[in-house]
Amino acid sequence: MAMWVFGYGSLIWKTGFPFDESLPGFIKGYRRVFHQGSTDHRGTPDFPGRTVTLEAADGEVCWGVAYKITKEEDKRDALTHLEVREKQYDQKEYLDFFTESNSEPAVTGVMVYIASPDKKSNNNYLGPAPLEDIAKQIVKAEGPSGPNRDYLFNLEKALSQLGFKDKHVTDLANQVRSILSETQELSVDATANNI
């Protein structure tokens, strides 16, 4: 039997495990939010970055990519990889995955990693904050996998290449670009004033 994994964050552009097929589509009843702290990839314990998790939301959909894995060895490799990579995500759900709005699920029981808001089982959950505050945190955060802003920009680009729109991701990326632009202007002004 095939195993299916749904990627809605970095798994969209950097899978890291063998798979037989990838299918763009969506899950229902959830939205993507930058509420999870990252202390091991895009931030540090002293200054966490922010990565996406899913939040239950009636009537909403979250677009991403489902990966089909059929060989037993590949399933083991994928699970081993994901258990390390997603170790700060404390829940696994098995959801219906769709490729068209008014159809039956294309896949039933696709595995999805979710970081819950339960601080007992997920001590890295940061929760909601004003868009500008999230953007400022993303601008400053950096971890072993690189700057937090690269994660955001890669997600924005990957969703765009698939033809998906996610207002939260776009608004946040624009806010981060705005902060970076202001920072550059300030450093250019400071350099000019020192000459």
| Average pLDDT per consecutive 10 residues, the chain (195 residues; last block may be shorter) | 96 96 96 96 95 96 97 96 92 95 90 95 95 97 96 97 95 97 69 55
Q: Give the pLDDT confidence score for residue 192 in this predicted structure.
A: 53
Q: Which residues are catalytic?
A: 86
* 187 vs 52: CA distance, rounded Å: 31
Spatial contact of 114 and 22, defined as CB atoms under 8 Å apart: no
Spatial contact of 97 and 26, defined as CB atoms under 8 Å apart: yes
Q: Give the pLDDT confidence score for residue 103 in this predicted structure.
A: 83
Residue 33: CB atoms within 10 A of its CB come to 20
* 102 vs 118: CA distance, rounded Å: 33
Cα 2 from chain centre = 24
* 53 vs 178: CA distance, rounded Å: 24
Q: Give the pLDDT confidence score for residue 3 in this predicted structure.
A: 97
CA-CA-CA-CA torsion sign (152, 157, 158, 159): positive
Cα 62 from chain centre = 11
Q: Is 73 exposed, middle or buried (0-12, 13-18, 19+ CB in 10 A)?
A: exposed
pTM: predicted TM-score of the whole model, two decimal places:
0.91
The DSSP 8-state label assigned to residue 98 in this structure reads: B
The DSSP 8-state label assigned to residue 23 in this structure reads: E
Q: Give the pLDDT confidence score for residue 27 in this predicted structure.
A: 97
